[in-house]
Amino acid sequence: MEKWHAAVEHARWGCFEDVRQTYRSADVVGTFVVFNVNSFRIVTKIRYQDGKVFIREVMTHPQYDRWTPKEDPWE
């Protein structure tokens, strides 16, 4: 996770396609971008216009399998 954090901290993504260049396993799920990092799923919101990445959830794969994305109340 530290390696993921360091990469994200220095990333300058303008769109989801840019994210996929760095993390081929990243997926868009609803309004979230989900990263598959080792035995975890990191659910994020990315504000491409100002380069901010917000972590919404960190889950194991079994937890993620039970997760249902809901609309983000912060939008």
Q: pLDDT tens for residues 19-59? A: 999 999 999 998 899 999 999 999 999 999 999 999 999 99
pLDDT of residue 71: 63
Which band of pLDDT confidence, cut at 50, 70 and 90, is reported for residue 75?
A: low
- At 54, phi and psi to the nearest 5? -110, 130
Instruction: Report DSSP letters for 27-52, one per residue.
Output: EEETTEEEEEETTEEEEEEEETTTTE
**pLDDT reading at 74 higher than 90:** no
The C-alpha atoms of residue 52 and residue 46 are separated, in whole angstroms, by: 6
**pLDDT reading at 68 higher than 90:** no
Burial class (CB in 10 A: 0-12, 13-18, 19+), 59: middle
Burial class (CB in 10 A: 0-12, 13-18, 19+), 34: buried
